[in-house]
Amino acid sequence: MKMVKIYSTGGCDAATREGSAEVVLECEGKIKYLTFSYSDTTANRCILQGLIDGVNCLKKPCNVELISSCELGVKKAQKGKGVNVDLHQELCGILIKKECEYSFSVMHGEGDILNAFIRKHRTKR
């Protein structure tokens, strides 16, 4: 199985609850940049939805590393708890349906590095 890294970052306007995610898929030296817009959301939900939308682009079973700069409540969601458990369940369900093996990685304190990495690929479209 191929190894795919999916990087996601997102943000949201707290007043309007309009948000977006920027996603980079990296596989065998190839990069795909994606951007998505969401309504009635939060920053963490944007990041999770970006991961979901990135996984939906996969055509074959892969080993997937899901990368963000924050925890996203993964441990709570694995116990069926947390504010975004619905998105975690959707994400894991899609990965299982696509027969992907997966892991979560958090770039603790490295949000600026992740954002710079994604910005670099935004300009190469």
Q: What CATH code is carried by the domain that includes residue 113? A: 3.30.420.10
Q: How many CB atoms lie within 10 A of CB 7?
A: 26
Return the ∠ at Cα 107 (arms to 104 and 111), rounded to 5°.
130
Say how far apart CA 29 and CA 26 lie, in whole Å.
Answer: 7
Per-residue pLDDT tens for 92-123? 999 999 999 999 998 888 888 999 999 998 86
* Boundaries of domain holding 46: 2-122
Considering its fold, how many domains does the chain have in total?
Answer: 1
- For the stretch 31-74, pLDDT in tens is 999 999 999 999 999 999 999 999 999 999 999 999 998 888 77
- Global pTM exceeds 0.85: yes
- Residue 123: φ, ψ to 5°: -80, -10
Residue type, 104: F
A 10 A CB-CB count for 38 gives 18
Residue ranges of alpha helices (H) inside the chain are 43-55, 74-78, 85-97, 111-122
Nearest CA to 9 out of 84, 115, 120, 123 is that of 115
